[in-house]
Amino acid sequence: MKLSTLILPLLLLLATAVTEETYGQQRFPAPEFESGYEYPDVSTPEPRALSLEYGDVIVLMGFLLITSWVVIKKRSRRWILWMSVGALLYFGFWREGCICAVGSGQNMALSLSDPAYMVSYTVIAFFILPLIFSLSYGRVFCASACPLGVIQDLVIVKPVKVPVWVQKSLGMFPFVYLALALLYAATGTDFIICRYDPFVGIFRMGAEFHLIVLGISFLLIGMFVARPYCRFVCPYGALLKVTSMFSKRHLSITPNQCIQCKLCAGSCPFGAIDKPTPDKLVKEIKGRTGKFLLYAAIIPLLMLIGGFALSSSHVFLAKAHPDVYLAHLLIDEPEVMDDPDNLDVQTFLGSDRTMDELVESAEEIQASFYTGAWLTGGFIGLVAGFFLISQYIVRRRADYEPNRGDCYSCGRCIKYCPVQK
């Protein structure tokens, strides 16, 4: 073998090594693995395969069907309890609170206002199915399929009775919360129901500190004031309350004729059992027909006042949107453009957007808030009007009955009734 045959490959190998040593560091810097940077924990669940999402819908349907049968036919608190534990484990800790029927209304609102946003069939199913079942069987979703409600139901230790006037007054807030959540979702600002979900930190074993504190606080309060989030906050519960009022078949305390034993009177920790209507109360209400007609007549005025009041605050409300907030910040405080620590400003300056484009976007968003605020305020006024006239609507009852709007179909009252099937 010739010497040149051996030397040529060695020279090529040496040249390659010298080239890499001389130029490689300048042209292709090696990645830095020891920078000390740590990736933050993911705060939302990873997307699932479409087949698995359809599986969630099937599981939800199964829970609703079985719970409806248990509530209407089986009439067993024990079965409802075991169903609720299963839903908490699956929809709460396994699915980490997502997909969630409680927040699905926001997706629906955004899809209706923004043609570019497509809502999935699974989200539509989670929004509609509990409402459909509530029209037939009451709030069976709240009984054993909603992880937010179940986790509160399981910690009830010694419930105290909330005064009726307090319960009714606070009962208006879920409707207000619902209206504002739909406004912020429809304008593409934020999904505030999901952002301030008090139990997301518990289900996902990690969240922002204030959410963890909020969730623990609700559970501690819930040991004595049963289901505080469901009764006084939950916006989806506001929808279920309305649809459940028209339920054709609802949980009943007694399977046969009531014997007026009164054993069930104090069995509901939610104050959702209506007592027989005294004749004296019926006569008093009939004497207040004038006030009923007066409050009914001023409902349009309340809607107008609500719409005007909220629309007057549309600029303040719109500042929750990042474009509106940033535009106002740069106009009112132009010196922040020199602040290197303001990430929002520095991100904008590093983008391709101009100040004119930002201001134009902010003006469009504020205009949509103005229109939305009129509708939202009008809805709140409508709710306030119905709340007033409801004080003068009395349905004659001869027996102890669950209030169809407020009853969570938990089945606690069933075991207090001595009447058998």
Whether residue 296 sits in one domain with residue 229: no
Whether residue 347 sits in one domain with residue 234: no
Cα 86–chain centre separation: 21
Separation between Cα atoms, residue 223 and residue 334, nearest integer Å? 51
Diameter over CA atoms, the chain:
123
Three-state DSSP state, 95: coil
Q: Please report the pLDDT score of residue 338 as a whole number.
A: 83
Closest CA relative to residue 377, chosen from 313, 309, 327, 314: 309
Q: Please report the pLDDT score of residue 107 as a whole number.
A: 94
Q: Does some domain include residue 375?
A: yes
Q: Please report the pLDDT score of residue 342 as a whole number.
A: 86
Q: Does some domain include residue 254?
A: no
The residue segments making up the domain with residue 379 are 289-389
Whether residue 358 sits in one domain with residue 408: no
Separation between Cα atoms, residue 100 and residue 147, nearest integer Å? 9
Whether residue 126 sits in one domain with residue 85: yes
Whether residue 177 sits in one domain with residue 93: yes
Q: Please report the pLDDT score of residue 191 as a whole number.
A: 95
Whether residue 303 sits in one domain with residue 181: no
Amino acid making up residue 335: E
Whether residue 218 sits in one domain with residue 303: no
Whether residue 322 sits in one domain with residue 190: no
370 neighbors 311 (Cβ within 8 angstroms): yes
Q: Please report the pLDDT score of residue 59 as a whole number.
A: 95
Q: What is the pLDDT along the chain (421 residues), one digit of tens a residue?
A: 444 444 444 434 444 443 444 334 444 454 555 555 565 555 555 566 677 888 999 999 999 999 999 999 999 999 999 999 999 999 999 988 888 899 999 999 999 999 889 888 999 999 999 999 999 999 999 999 999 999 999 999 999 999 988 998 899 999 999 999 999 999 999 999 999 999 988 998 877 888 889 999 999 999 999 999 999 999 999 999 999 999 989 999 988 888 888 888 889 999 999 888 776 766 666 666 777 788 889 999 999 999 999 999 999 999 999 999 999 999 999 888 888 888 888 888 888 889 999 999 999 999 999 999 999 999 999 999 999 888 777 777 878 899 999 999 999 999 888 887 6
400 neighbors 273 (Cβ within 8 angstroms): yes
Whether residue 411 sits in one domain with residue 339: no
Whether residue 298 sits in one domain with residue 223: no
Cα angle, residue 408 at apex, residues 406 and 409 outer, rounded to 5°: 125
Q: Please report the pLDDT score of residue 47 as a whole number.
A: 61
Closest CA relative to residue 411, chosen from 270, 294, 293, 287: 270
Separation between Cα atoms, residue 216 and residue 15, nearest integer Å? 67
Q: Does some domain include residue 170?
A: yes
Whether residue 231 sits in one domain with residue 305: no
Whether residue 164 sits in one domain with residue 302: no
Q: Does some domain include residue 27?
A: no
Q: Does some domain include residue 72?
A: yes
Q: Please report the pLDDT score of residue 319 as a whole number.
A: 94
Q: What is the domain count for the chain?
A: 2
Q: Please report the pLDDT score of residue 28 as a whole number.
A: 44
Q: Does some domain include residue 47?
A: no
Q: Does some domain include residue 346?
A: yes
Separation between Cα atoms, residue 361 and residue 353, nearest integer Å? 11
Three-state DSSP state, 273: strand
Q: Does some domain include residue 24?
A: no
Sign of the alpha-carbon dihedral angle for 278, 283, 286, 292: negative
